[in-house]
Amino acid sequence: MNLYRPIVVGLSGQALSASEVSWLHELRPYGVILFSRNIENQTQLKALCASIREILGKDVMIIIDQEGGRVQRLKNPNWPALPSALDIGKYWRRHQFAGLEAANSLGQVIGSQLAEVGITHAAAPVLDLHIIGADPVIGDRSFGTTPAEVIPLATAFIDGLSRCSVGAIVKHIPGMGRVQSDSHDELPVIPTSINELSQSDWIPFQVISGTRWAMTAHVVIPEWDTLPITTSTKAMQHIRETFGDWLIISDCLTMGAITGTITERVQNTLNAGVDLALFSNGSDEERRTAVESSGKPRISRDNSIPLSPLSNSDIQRLLMKLNRVARIHDEIDPTWDQSSYEG
């Protein structure tokens, strides 16, 4: 059985550097995550994914943030602009069946985009609630303000991804819709009582099916611990008890919410009980250090399923359905720092 280090790591550019080829082969991380800096067009991206597979194996996990709306790594002019989750949520409120169909169509389009180039997992959908008055880091990335809106639409989206054999990584467990600051910059604290959270924010993470993967929220829940959930043993024990048997990957450990040296960030995350650390950014040396800090290769991968992109005619049919959603203007226009998501 092949074993890998429990970490997913970012890459520097649109092709693997000689140094990356060397240490990826030597250190054997579980997977990689791609950002805008790694993407030019379909041909280049497909070649990059093929080179990753050649080094790390056919079953390697390759992740990208592709939610629709403002969080799209695959974007114009080579990929179409897609509606946000909240756009679909608003459409669903007016036309429930058509809204579910739109959420599923969004999942299928994104799934096909990823399958076509060889990406195995979308870091999507967001299961966080859209809380009015909170920091806009979630905002229109959420399907709605209540579990009753989020659950059916997220389920339809996940089903759409799965039709192309692309996996979903839901985020951000146990919910960060209430934050008053952006975890890219600092550590948010959610002072809301556990009793209230358990009756609202937590419900989508307790009932969603169709995937085993979830990404952590870099937040503090004071009733659990004063440390970020991602690096807190106490908080991760509560996560396991409350939400069941998820495979959990951290949000990026280079974000401002997490402090310490590279080694401390990675080891504290894994020691807390997170299954995979995620280290997205930094110099070649820093990313190699992060992988080394994750310890010896010790975890196996799931069996890979052949990716199945859709036909061009199917994609065009689905995009026509999504164009109906685009006609609904998003009334929420929060102040939002695009650079936080460009990567």
Active-site annotation, residues: 184, 251
Assess contact for 142 and 98: CB atoms under 8 A.
Answer: no
Angle at Cα 208 formed by Cα 240 and Cα 326, nearest 5°? 135
Assess contact for 151 and 204: CB atoms under 8 A.
Answer: yes
What the block records as the tokens of 338 is 């695009």
The reply to whether omega before 204 is within 30° of 0 (cis) is no
- What's phi and psi for 323, nearest 5 deg? -65, -30
